Amino acid sequence: MTLAILCSGQGRQHSEMFALTSDTPESEALFQRACVLLDGIDPRLLVRQISEETIHSNRCGQIICTLQGLAAAAALRSSLPSNVVFAGYSVGELAAWGAAEVLDPFTTLDLAAKRAAMMDAHTSPGDGLLFIRGLPRDVIDGLCERHGAGLAIVNPDDAFIVGGSRQALHALVVEAEQFRPIRMTLLPVMVASHTKLLRLASAEFRKVLAGTPIRFPPISGFRLLSGVDGATVMNPETGLNKLSGQICTTVQWASCLQSCVEAGTTCFLELGPGDALSRMAREAFPEVESRSLSDFKSLVGVRAWIAARAH
């Protein structure tokens, strides 16, 4: 069995996102570390009691989404098979480095907070992300070029995320409607992630990563993918360059999923929050079973699902 662990990015935070991970002894210390980063508010209470706007704010969102991936990985560590591919979507890539134990999990949480702060420092009011499905890549590229936007993420099946200023995204939407896309939706993300608007944040984050201890090569049997091209991280310096570079560079998520399959993946498991990545994997590769933590009622069920496919 080769299991692909998918670490989710922002956008699907919700009040019950820690339902399976909140009371596991393996993840308690991670929740306590996140509490410090969230100004003393326990993240398990925060997602239930604080406004939707707050949990979707960039800093809070990056911390709690990274926490979910790390907490789930810690709780499932003893159940993982000997061959695991780790891939992460947007800030989920940082979580994937921690889940694969290339980065210390506590350090990973600290890095999520620093990454968000640097991105916020170079973000203008109104910057954000737009989801577009149903238009070909060349049309998307043309729209971005004409309106000063950037292609942020390439998903399977003609699904794209575009980033830019409020003015750029508004103008792009108006023109894009003429091409009759299947769907266009502004995402609850308030930064133009993975576009050149954040190139200074990317450079600053690289300097932080330069002083961060890492464990390389990864644990035997673990494979870690880079989001900017879907390639396996073979060299720590190159890997860190890509990890920081994806802040201002298009994420090739379709390539990441393809790389998982080419590495022999027999099952996908998304750690959440949400199930967007597992659904994308299922639609792109229907022959490979794909599940999300949100599909299960308990971690006992997740562990049983993994065990059943390891034999």
CATH of domain 128-186: 3.30.70.250
CATH of domain 2-122+196-309: 3.40.366.10
pLDDT of 51 reads 87
In the predicted model, what is the mean pLDDT of residues 57-77? 97
In the predicted model, what is the mean pLDDT of residues 244-268? 98
45-59 residue pLDDT tens? 999 998 888 999 999
- For the chain, residues classed under CATH 3.40.366.10 are 2-122+196-309
104-140 residue pLDDT tens? 999 999 999 999 999 999 999 999 999 999 999 999 9
Sheet strands (E) in the chain:
2-7, 83-88, 128-133, 150-155, 159-164, 183-186, 222-224, 251-252, 267-270, 289-292
Question: Environment class of residue 84 by beta-carbon count within 10 Å: exposed (0-12), middle (13-18) or buried (19+)?
Answer: buried
307 pLDDT higher than 90: yes
pLDDT of 55 reads 93
In the predicted model, what is the mean pLDDT of residues 182-196? 95
pLDDT of 214 reads 96
pLDDT of 310 reads 82
- For the chain, residues classed under CATH 3.30.70.250 are 128-186
311 pLDDT higher than 80: no
CA atoms within 13 A on the CB side of 189: 26
223 pLDDT higher than 80: yes
> What is residue 223's three-state secondary structure?
strand
How does residue 177 score in pLDDT terms, banded at 50, 70 and 90?
A: very high
